[in-house]
Structures are given as structure tokens and as C-alpha cells.
Amino acid sequence: MGEHGEAGAAPESDRRVGLRLALAGGGTGGHVVPGTHLLRHLKGSGGLDSLLWFGAGRTAERRALDGVEAHLDAEVSFTKVDLPLESPAGGAPRLRDLAIRFAPATRKARAALLADKTEVVCGLGGFTCLPVVLAARSLRLPTALLEINAVKGKATRWLSPLCERVLHAWPSTMPPAERLDPDAGKHRVIGPPLGPAFTAPPLAEQARRAAVEALGFDSDRLLVLVLGGSQGAQALNSLMRERHAEFEERGCAVLHQVGPGRLEEGGQASRHYYAREYVDDVAGTLRAASLVICRGGASTLAEVAAAGTPAVVVPYPHHRDGHQRANAEALGNGVVLVEESRGQTAILNAALDLLGQESELERRGQTLRDAIPKTGASRLFKELSLLSTSRVSHD
């Protein structure tokens, strides 16, 4: 048996330079986007030989993965495997359903890892990680987890003991004992993975105006970008439907991402406002925007911060662990945090107040750029590459 059990290890002379990588992340865009950032970072590097992606098959996930092969070099083989642990309608699976589906999903994941001759596995969050990590352990494959939030999620809490590395976007999720010496144990703080488009320098004013015009708006107006996450946000959709005219009256344009199948929740299109289900070029649109109004998803806020676009963050209020609030707080004074319970007027006033202060927008944008490391993708790949060459034993 090879060092990875049944998966084996090819003779050194037969090995290609690239890594045979498996990523496990699905259900929501937040469990997919960090992986796509890694792929964007690796494009043209020859760093990958094959990519095996385990997902849940839900709509938001499929949209986030749409066109993923464009981020891969032509010679990289790509396989997508769905492990339907979660309901297509969304929400956490019931324990009974999870118990019924878990064993078949683990067998399916194990077979796919063997067939792809995977060398290292990385979990990106969500229930999809559970069967994949168990399958990888049964094959003695080295495995890492990425914790992108500022509060540990279930995957990190449950699966850390089974993995060789736990990679953190923020120090707040590190075990207290390892914060003093972050390179001594299995945990590492690497920052959130970000593709090259998000780490580029900010646009000069003339370029920003041209980008606003390219989006179909008057270049003399400040652009407000409203992002409800991969599935949309009812509270933000209601705000824009009922009050987007107040932004237009203040000389702003509004591009509103409502989420899949939710166009009717947006406002009526006008010269200075329109709604879309998705924003395809998030990096370019963020760089054109003067302000973002958004939820507090970790991937969204990492992109907002890297682009240096000041934000009014309205955390989703019903998560028990309050991780969206914690994600916003990790960015310090770069964002203004407004609880949904304070109502539409509080959100609106916070945004309009910022838009009226050019120097404050610039200061907060710089605070955001300084708050987030730009090397998360390269550090993630380095850790995975090191794991793939290690001799692993879970015994």
C-alpha cells in the first residue's frame, strides 16, 4: 500500500509537477468562492494537475461555480461530484436526513478520491466537508480545512481533530494556545484567499468614472452597489425597492444584486437604478463603486475589503453564532455596521452620510485595504503543497 493507502503514490519519475487537489465546499456561494479565488490565483502557474470538486448541487453553489473551468489551465482535468446532503431549497439538513445520506455520500466521495488519485484535500466549509474528510481519512490522504469566517463554523469545530492543517482567515478562530506561536501546531492564520483582480491597486478617478459608465450609469454619479450574498437578502431588497429613489435624489446610481429568482423583489428600473440577479464581474464592479451595502458574509467582506470599497454592513440577524457581525467587526472602522432591527431609515442614513463625505470614504477605503492580507491564496496553496508531499499517518 502507498503512503496514502489505496490511492497510492506514483513513482517520482512519473509524477507531473502539478498538484492533484480535491476541494470540498458547497451549498452556498460562501463555501465556493474561496476555492474559486484560489483557482484564479493559480491560473497560468502550472500548479494544478487535476481538480476534484465536491459540492451539494444547490442553485447558489452552481452559479458560483459557473465557468470555473475558465479559471483552470487547459491541461488541468476537472471533475465535479455532488453529494446531496442538503435540501435543494436551502437550510441545514435535518439530522434524520443527514444520517440517511451520510454513508452513501462518504462512499461516493471515497470512490471519487481514488479514481482521481487525489494527493491532498481541502474543506471549504458546509456539510459537504463531512463525508469528504471522513473518506480522505480512510485513505490516509492529507487534509486541510479553511475557516473563512471570524467565528468558527461547524466544519471547523467538528473536523479539526481529523485534519493535518486548519487554515484561518482571522486570528479570532485560532485556538488560544496557538495564537502565541502560530507556526507551532496544526493551525495557521493565512488570511482569506483572493484572486488577482481583487488585489489590484484602486482605480484612479478617471478610470472609476469610465467603469461606472461601462455599467450603464452616468459617470458623474457615485455608484452604490447593493449585495445580498449569493442567495440575496430580503431586507436589502425591500430597502432598495422602497427607497432607492432617495439615493438617486442625492446624485447616486444604484446597482442592486437581488439574488437568484428574486428580480421581483427589487425596485422598478430607472435611469439611475437597476436590479440584477447576479453581478458577474464582482471585482470590477466593486472597484467602480463608491459604497457597498451588504450582508456580512465572509467572502463578500473579504472582496469588499481587498477592493477598498467602504461598506455599510447589515448582518443577517438569525445566525446563532453571530458570525456575520464578527466578520464586519474584524474590518474595524472600514465599515459601518447597522443592525437590521434598526430599520430601513438607519441603514439609509448611514449610507447617505458616508456618501456625503469624500474624505471619509477615502479614509475608510484605505482602512479596509490595510485590514486584509493579500497573500491568502498563495499561502493556502503553499500549505496544501507541503501537505501533499508529507508522509501522513492518522494513527
| DSSP string across 339-385 | -GGG-HHHHHHHHHHHHT-HHHHHHHHHHHHHHS-S-HHHHHHHHHH
Distance between CA 356 and CA 351 in Å, rounded? Answer: 9
| pLDDT score at 92 | 64
Whether 12-194+374-389 shares its CATH topology with 200-371 is answered: yes
> One digit per residue, pLDDT tens: the chain, 395 residues?
334 444 444 444 444 478 999 999 987 778 899 999 999 999 999 999 999 999 988 777 787 788 889 999 999 999 999 997 766 555 566 777 777 788 999 999 999 999 999 999 999 998 899 999 999 999 999 999 999 999 998 889 999 999 999 999 999 999 887 776 766 679 999 999 999 999 888 899 999 999 999 999 999 999 999 998 767 788 999 999 999 999 999 999 999 999 888 899 989 999 999 999 989 899 999 999 999 999 999 999 999 999 999 999 999 988 888 899 999 999 999 999 999 999 999 999 999 999 999 999 999 999 999 999 999 999 999 999 999 987 444 33
| Domain ranges across the chain | 12-194+374-389, 200-371
DSSP 107: H
Nearest by Cα to 65 from 42, 87, 43, 34: 34
Residue 283 vs residues 122, 195, 292, 345: alpha-carbon distances, Å = 25, 9, 12, 28
Contact 149, 323 (CB under 8 A): yes
Element containing residue 238 per DSSP (H, E): helix 234-249
CA 247 to chain centre: 28
In the block, residue with C-alpha cell 437597476: 274
CB atoms within 10 A of CB 89: 7
| pLDDT score at 8 | 45
Residue 327's contacts (CB-CB under 8 Å, 6 or more residues apart) are 149, 150, 151, 296, 297, 298, 301, 315
Contact 368, 305 (CB under 8 A): yes
Max Cα distance, the chain (Å): 70
CA atoms within 13 A on the CB side of 361: 18
Residue 69's contacts (CB-CB under 8 Å, 6 or more residues apart) are 78
All three cell numbers of 157, joined, read: 469545530
* N-terminal to C-terminal alpha carbon distance within the chain: 15
Contact 228, 330 (CB under 8 A): no
Residue 320 DSSP SS3 = coil
Provide the CATH number for the domain formed by 200-371 in this structure.
Answer: 3.40.50.2000
All three cell numbers of 85, joined, read: 446532503
In the block, residue with C-alpha cell 477598498: 308
Element containing residue 165 per DSSP (H, E): strand 165-168
Distance between CA 255 and CA 253 in Å, rounded? Answer: 7
Provide the CATH number for the domain formed by 12-194+374-389 in this structure.
Answer: 3.40.50.2000
Distance between CA 165 and CA 184 in Å, rounded? Answer: 11
* Cα dihedral sign, 264-268-269-273: negative
Contact 45, 16 (CB under 8 A): no
All three cell numbers of 380, joined, read: 493556502
